[in-house]
Amino acid sequence: MNAFARRRLRYSAAALTLVAALWAWLWWVDASLGATAYQSGYVLYGMVVFLAAYNLRKKLPGLPLGSSRVWLQLHLYVGVTSVFLLGTHISWRQPNGYFETALFALYAATVGSGVWGLYLTRTIPKQLARTSEQFVWERIPRLRSDLLRRSRAAVLQCVSQTGVTTLAEFYSDRVDNYLAAPRGAAYFVRPSSAVRRRVMAELTDLRRFLTEAEEAASEKLFAIIRKKDDLDFHQARQGLLKGWLFLHIALTYTLIAFATLHGVVALAMRGGPR
């Protein structure tokens, strides 16, 4: 068993122990006629605050608060364990009332987005690493307009040198728009290299009709088309990672606000904390 598998086993065993301890404790509270919903509510709220504190931990990397890797592992296992506690808290029943239903939906959306994010953060970096170059997200629009400028310059230079327009006509019909236009929403959801492959196949077919100078310019176009595809891919996938994190954090803070209100109302109805 490698170190990674051993670590995972250790954390899973710790999470199971935590679930068992919580269950035993709630059983004991119930048996001694305590109000389990209040006790589980306190712990659940504490867990949610701990999960949200990961955001602060990331914002304050300079403070000696433990490594981010350990925080992430704790985050994942506490996140999953909290599902069990929530189930117990609401007695495994459907919540009633608009506010409780909204709170439950927020909780489910936060956990759901967390699981989705776990998948994205495990798969997208590998997909990005397969492209020819790595790009900083903020610089992509600038790099894309550089490509457009270079491609136009290459084609224009070729026309002014030779007076032949075969490549220029193909370029303005098929390539310029591909390089200039942003991708649609469908590409963002599921990026595909189909358009790039089609444009490149058409350019390959055209090569036998090109002059030597045009062929040299078409070589540049091939490289530019490939790079534009990589830029689009990075923009879509890195954008998805950023968008996901934004959603997870926005859900987190809304959840904290709703959960706080829920707790305050519950305590007020009960006549104060015990």
Candidate list 55, 73, 162, 254; residue touching ligand HEM; CB under 6 A = 55
Figure out which of the listed residues 80, 143, 147, 213 binds ligand HEM, where binding follows CB under 6 A.
80
Q: How far is the CB of 255 from ligand HEM (least distance, A)?
A: 6
Q: Could you tell me the two tokens for 85?
A: 């506690």
- Which residues are within 8 A (CB) of 103 and not within 5 positions of it... i.e. 6 or more apart? 95, 255, 258, 259, 262
Gap between the Cα atoms of 250 and 246, Å rounded: 6
> Which of left, alpha, beta for 66 (phi over 0: left; psi -120 to 50: alpha)?
left
Shortest spacing between CB 84 and ligand HEM, in angstroms: 12
Q: Is residue 263 a contact residue for ligand HEM (CB under 6 A)? A: no
Q: Does 75 interact with ligand HEM (rule: CB under 6 A)?
A: yes
* Least spacing, CB of residue 34 vs ligand HEM, in Å: 25
79 contacts 51 by C-beta, under 8 angstroms: yes
State the minimum distance, in angstroms, from the CB of residue 90 to ligand HEM: 14
Q: Is 237 in the site for ligand HEM (CB under 6 A)?
A: no
Phi/psi for 66 (5° steps) reads 95, 160
| CA dist., res. 94 & res. 100, Å (int) | 9
Please count the other Cβ atoms lying within 10 Å of the Cβ belonging to residue 274: 9
Q: Is 12 in the site for ligand HEM (CB under 6 A)?
A: no
Question: Is 54 among the residues that bind ligand HEM (CB under 6 A)?
Answer: yes
| One-letter amino acid for residue 90 of the chain | I
- Residue 72 token pair: 């992430």
* Minimum CB–partner distance for residue 39 and ligand HEM (Å): 19
Query: Which one of residues 245, 247, 266, 267 is an interface residue with ligand HEM (CB under 6 A)?
Result: 245
Instruction: Name the token pair of 81.
Output: 């364990």
Nearer to ligand HEM, 55 or 165 (CB): 55
**164 touches ligand HEM by CB under 6 A:** no
Q: What are the CA-CA distances from residue 149 to residues 90, 165, 209, 237, 253 (Å)?
A: 61, 18, 25, 25, 44
CB of 104 to ligand HEM, least distance (A): 12
Q: Which residues bind ligand HEM (CB under 6 A)?
A: 48, 51-52, 54-55, 58, 72, 75-76, 79-80, 82, 107, 110-111, 114-115, 117-118, 121, 245, 248-249, 252, 255
